[in-house]
Copies of this chain bind each other. A is one copy, B any other.
Amino acid sequence: MEDHVQFSTFFYPRSIAVIGVSPDKNNLGQNIVRNCLSFCYEGEIFSVGLRKGVVFGQRIYQSLEEIDREIDLVAILTPAKTIPGILEQCGRKGVKNVVIESSGFSELGEEGKPLEIASLEIARKYGIRFIGPNGIGVTNLEVGVALPFMPLRADLALGPVSILAQSGGVGLSYLNFLADERVGINKFVSMGNKLNVDENDLLSYLIQDKGTKIILLYLEGFTNGRRFVEIASKSEKPILVYKSNRFEASARIAQSHTAALFADDKLVDYALEQAGCIRINTLDDAMDCIKSQTLPPLRGNRLAVVSRSGGHAVIAADACAYHGFKLAQLPDDFLRKFESHFRAHVIRLQNPLDLGDLFDLEFYEYIVEEMLKRDDVDGVLLGHGYRRGYEQEASRELLKTVEHLVEQYQKPVATFVLTEAAEKDYLKKTLKIPIFSAPENAMRALSLSYRWASQVSRLEDIPVPGGIDREKAKKIFGDSRNRSFLFLDESMELLASYGFSLLPYRLAKTSAEAIEVWKEMKHPLAMKINRPHISHKTDQGAVRLALNSEEEIT
């Protein structure tokens, strides 16, 4: 809780000093001040830099000490080697929250290390928490804090999504995509090298942050996976995780994949599932998933599909089956209520309901509401299509009503609208419910929403297996640091140190030794070749099972 108080200053500072501002036209520090001004930050902003001058009608201070006001937050964009000195200044000034955007630390190799150690040391001395280095800082649209050193686009809207990104570029691209989709943003942190503040600190904060309703993480690695799982699994907010760096080829050295690395990504999968997070692997997934989270959760798997085009009803039914949803079985007498509105009984009354023949858009609203009222319908997939200038007003009216119905019945209506991009953009801008491009996208979004809703309930507490000897495990990893593999006995000890019970084993260097072992064990043996560089042992006949005689063993 203590922590949350200090962290809230990153997002709600009463005053900000930006260090690294100069009157030079191309000075990047100026962009930090400009962004805060554009997003109407309400506190005081002070510019600090070596050269005198005026920016945005305000003098540039030559040091923090010159400022005779209290500073809540300092953002720094100066060369790496100046950082420890500036942190020292911050400490003396009583500043507890710092954002370091400068690069030139350990991301460039060993030379950056000493600067990092010095910075951490000073931070500890003064009780400073700092975000970065090598990032683009903190943004909080609630109060206009906007510290990236590149100009942010002006049409970022305030909304439910907060983003933690280990890459400034990827974070920015998400701001872009969300803005294009007209989904509002709450907070955004580019975590950079995560030297002092990591994703776990920030995730803890966002989980209890009022403005944040949906959390999106972009990570290339976990600082502490176990802690992440502990924190994330307690979240009542959906956490979407885009974890890249999944294959060895992505981890700098272009090599063919090893089984170990595959397992690694599977482990990430497993951990994220344990943590109740939604893992996303593509931008399209991410956007559909975020959009789905702006709807009430889907609490069951029975859907009703209502579409204006027969073909899209078929596609929707396919997607429904593909994602494991059920088409709710609607009773005949219920469907017959709709019959009178259709011309000459040309429509089959069923689920999916194909409304191709119906031009009375108000009756659409009635149908959607009747579907939502039913206990055996957990959500609706609605497809509509129109042209700008044709049925435009009635269609916008319809979708506005659907928005109200979603609010009223607290069930999701995933809506795809087939119309021009410009009209879709208008709808996205004016409606609170998301608009999807196609039934496949809407259904995928429902599927991700459902997966999350069903995870939440069963994640109260995760059993932690007892008897774990972390020190021993650490030693094993330490000893093997310069190899890309573990020796057999290291693997076995590692498993044992995490509480796995193992069958007895021995290393035999000759057939004679193997036979000794067999006699000693008094059981049939499984034999396996012990060579680190033969990795697919079974394929190569290097694993033999159930050997129970001298001939079989030799």
Q: Which residue of B lies closest to A346 (CB)?
A: B108
Bound together, the chains give a CA A444 to CA B179 distance in angstroms of 24
Most chain B CB neighbours (cut-off 10 Å) among A103, A318, A329, A418: A318
Bound together, the chains give a CA A330 to CA B317 distance in angstroms of 47
Bound together, the chains give a CA A420 to CA B180 distance in angstroms of 7
Please tell me if A62 contacts chain B, counting CB pairs below 8 Å.
no
Please tell me if A553 contacts chain B, counting CB pairs below 8 Å.
no
Determine whether the beta carbon of B250 is less than 8 Å from that of A318.
yes
9 interchain residue pairs of minimum CB distance: A167-B311, A169-B309, A170-B311, A247-B321, A250-B317, A283-B438, A180-B421, A282-B440, A249-B321
Render A221-265 as a binary contact track against B, CB cut-off 8 A, 1 for contact: 000000000000000000000001111111010100100000000
Render A300-320 as a binary contact track against B, CB cut-off 8 A, 1 for contact: 000000001111101101101
List 11 A-B pairs, Cβ < 8 Å.
Answer: A153-B420, A167-B311, A167-B312, A169-B309, A170-B311, A180-B420, A244-B314, A245-B314, A245-B318, A254-B329, A421-B425
Bound together, the chains give a CA A515 to CA B284 distance in angstroms of 61
Residues 370-405 (chain A) with a chain B CB within 8 angstroms: 385, 387-388, 390
Determine whether the beta carbon of B387 is less than 8 Å from that of A153.
yes
Please tell me if A184 contacts chain B, counting CB pairs below 8 Å.
no
Render A165-176 as a binary contact track against B, CB cut-off 8 A, 1 for contact: 111111111001
Q: Distance (Å) between the CB of A58 and the closest chain B CB?
A: 23
A173: which B residues are within 8 A, CB to CB? 309, 312, 385, 418, 438
Bound together, the chains give a CA A171 to CA B315 distance in angstroms of 13
Q: Which residue of B lies closest to A317 (CB)?
A: B250
What copy number does this chain have within its complex?
2
Q: Distance (Å) between the CB of A386 and the closest chain B CB?
A: 10
Q: Distance (Å) between the CB of A248 and the closest chain B CB?
A: 8
Please tell me if A151 contacts chain B, counting CB pairs below 8 Å.
yes
Q: Which residue of B lies closest to A347 (CB)?
A: B108
A310: which B residues are within 8 A, CB to CB? 167, 169
Known pairs A167-B311, A441-B284; A387 contacts B150 (CB<8 A): yes
Please tell me if A218 contacts chain B, counting CB pairs below 8 Å.
yes
A202-210, A348-356, A459-467: which one contacts chain B? A348-356
Q: Distance (Å) between the CB of A448 and the closest chain B CB?
A: 14
Q: Of the candidates B322, B356, B437, B440, which one forms a contact with A169 in the assembled complex, judged by CB atoms under 8 Å apart?
A: B356
Please tell me if A177 contacts chain B, counting CB pairs below 8 Å.
yes
Q: Which residue of B lies closest to A330 (CB)?
A: B254
Most chain B CB neighbours (cut-off 10 Å) among A282, A310, A326, A388: A282
Determine whether the beta carbon of A308 is less than 8 Å from that of B249.
no
Q: Distance (Å) between the CB of A66 and the closest chain B CB?
A: 31
Please tell me if A88 contacts chain B, counting CB pairs below 8 Å.
no
Bound together, the chains give a CA A335 to CA B315 distance in angstroms of 48
Determine whether the beta carbon of B311 is less than 8 Å from that of A244.
yes
Known pairs A346-B103, A390-B151, A437-B177; A317 contacts B249 (CB<8 A): yes
A387: which B residues are within 8 A, CB to CB? 150-151, 153
Bound together, the chains give a CA A171 to CA B388 distance in angstroms of 18
A425: which B residues are within 8 A, CB to CB? 421
Determine whether the beta carbon of B246 is less than 8 Å from that of A321.
yes
Determine whether the beta carbon of B311 is less than 8 Å from that of A169.
yes
Determine whether the beta carbon of A220 is less than 8 Å from that of B180.
no
Please tell me if A430 contacts chain B, counting CB pairs below 8 Å.
no
6 more A-B residue pairs beyond the given contacts A153-B388, A220-B314, A282-B440, with a C-beta to C-beta distance below 8 A:
A151-B390, A170-B309, A176-B418, A220-B311, A250-B317, A250-B318
